[in-house]
Amino acid sequence: MTSSLDITDEQTESERPRVWRVLLASAGLLAVLIPLVAFGLGAAISSLTSNTLETALRRNAAETARNWANYFASRFDGFERVLETGALTTGQRKFIASARQVGQVYRFKLYDVRGRLVIVSDAPQDINSDPARRSHDVHAVQVVQTGRGVVTLDPADRKIGDPLLQAAAYVPVNSSTGEPLGVVAVYIDQTVTRNALAEGFQGLGLKLTLIAVAVFLIPAIGFAWRNVQEFRRAYDVADEINQSEAEIDRLTADRERLGLRLAAVEKQLEGRTRELGEARRKDGSHVFPLSFETIRFDDWLVQEIETQVEALPAGVDVECRLSLGDLDVDCDLAALRTVFSQMLGEAAAAFDGPRGQADSCLVISTRHTHRGIELAVAARGGGRAAGTDLAEAVRIIERHGGGIDVLQHPEQGVSLVAWWPEHHAALKAA
């Protein structure tokens, strides 16, 4: 016997290796996917941090260069003399040197109002001593013409040995009357700043990568664990089903064996009952003791009528006229059941012949008379009753202290009346 799931022990055992292979394949797939996802996330975060770093560095370089250019323009004394002579004084050289040591300035340039280079801080000699080396600078000319500062990243005049990341700011220098005197150009080294920011961004990128991998890995592990639990539950359910099926098979076999035994016992009991009935009919002297009890007879009779009328021939109607009500009666229920059954069968036999009336039926009635309790079964409209099947009923009623009358009415049919004292048990005891 199998359930609707069709799960057997053999199928369950054969499914286990396949399921574990699926789990191992899933674990291997996760082992491959996790590094790929980590690499992809790391690359994406690295690209994002690089772009962010580049933007931050450029903004910082431009701002720092502009601040230092404004600082030089406001603190550097003697611009007019330097522009005229093309030479720096000792104080001016110290000022530039101190700025290069303290800040991020690695080069200082001074241009005249025509955008020609006049002074460069890291030149071996003053530019003015070699007029051929004096040149025009596009950014300086632009500042003179517009009167606004200009900031450039990675200047075009980069030299060998210059910092990898640098910025140049060009700021106009005006006289006290507001007339333009020239342009100050300050070059800023951003290498240290870049390294510091890069280190911070790299640490942030690594942390974000680890967080992203963890965010991906935790659901993956949870999904794998849930699948393992689902498989385990499926195995448990299959085992329970198999055990239940085995128990059902065992109980079914036991029920079949018990059914066979019960049928044999019922057959033996039926044969024994039949033999006992035959013996009782042959030996009328054999008397069984009666067991009296006090009952409301009409209530009991209603139940008996509902049970025994089902065995009557088809087409036989039954009419009840019970008048004892709540009267208590002493009797042996089992014995009276036999009496009523025989009276009902005898009265129904009167309908085997021709019917006398169209409204033929069995009339069952009770009443309380001077003789005690009377139970009558009349076959109204039936033929004659032989009374041959009432021998045992007569013996039972006589033991109750009563009798059975068989009355024949030409027009009303046969009527069987059993009567006995209502308190026969009390009278017998007295």
Report pLDDT for 375.
93
Report pLDDT for 429.
45
For residues 108 and 186, the answer to whether their CB atoms sit within 8 Å is yes
Domain closes at, from 146, 166, 189:
189
Percent of the chain with pLDDT over 70: 66
Quick check: is 225 in a domain?
A: no
Two structure tokens written together for 309: 């009328």
φ, ψ for residue 55 (rounded to 5)? -65, -45
Domain closes at, from 189, 216, 234:
189
Quick check: is 276 in a domain?
A: no
Express each pLDDT in 89-142 by its tens digit.
777 777 777 776 666 777 878 888 888 888 787 664 555 555 545 667 888 888
Report pLDDT for 18.
60
Quick check: is 209 in a domain?
A: no
Could you tell me which residues come within 8 angstroms of residue 57 by beta carbon, excluding any fewer than 6 positions away?
A: 165, 190, 193, 194, 197
pLDDT over threshold 90, residue 374: yes
Nearest to 78 by CA among 65, 91, 94, 67: 91
Residues 182 and 308 in one domain: no
Domain span holding position 394: 293-429
Candidate ranges 72-76, 115-119, 334-338, 411-415; pick with highest mean pLDDT: 334-338
Quick check: is 65 in a domain?
A: no
29: part of which helix (H) or strand (E)? helix 9-75
Quick check: is 115 in a domain?
A: yes
Residue spans of alpha helices (H) in 119-190: 138-146
Mutual angle of helices 191-282 and 9-75, in 10-degree steps: 160
Quick check: is 411 in a domain?
A: yes
Provide the pLDDT confidence category of residue 417 given band limits of 50, 70 and 90. very high
Residues 181 and 297 in one domain: no
CATH at 165: 3.30.450.20
Q: Between the CA atoms of 371, 377, 383 and 384, what dihedral angle is there, to the nearest 10 degrees? A: -40
Report pLDDT for 248.
92
Quick check: is 229 in a domain?
A: no
pLDDT over threshold 50, residue 356: no
Q: Report the chain's mean pLDDT, rounded to a whole number.
A: 75
Quick check: is 269 in a domain?
A: no
Structural domains in the chain (count) = 2
pLDDT over threshold 50, residue 4: no
Calculate ∠ Cα 77-166-173, nearest 5°. Answer: 25
CATH at 353: 3.30.565.10
Report pLDDT for 220.
67
DSSP codes joined into one string, 335-391: HHHHHHHHHHHHHHHTTSS--S-TT-EEEEEEEEETTEEEEEEEEET------TT-H
Domain closes at, from 142, 163, 189:
189
Query: Who has greater pLDDT, 328 or 425?
Result: 328
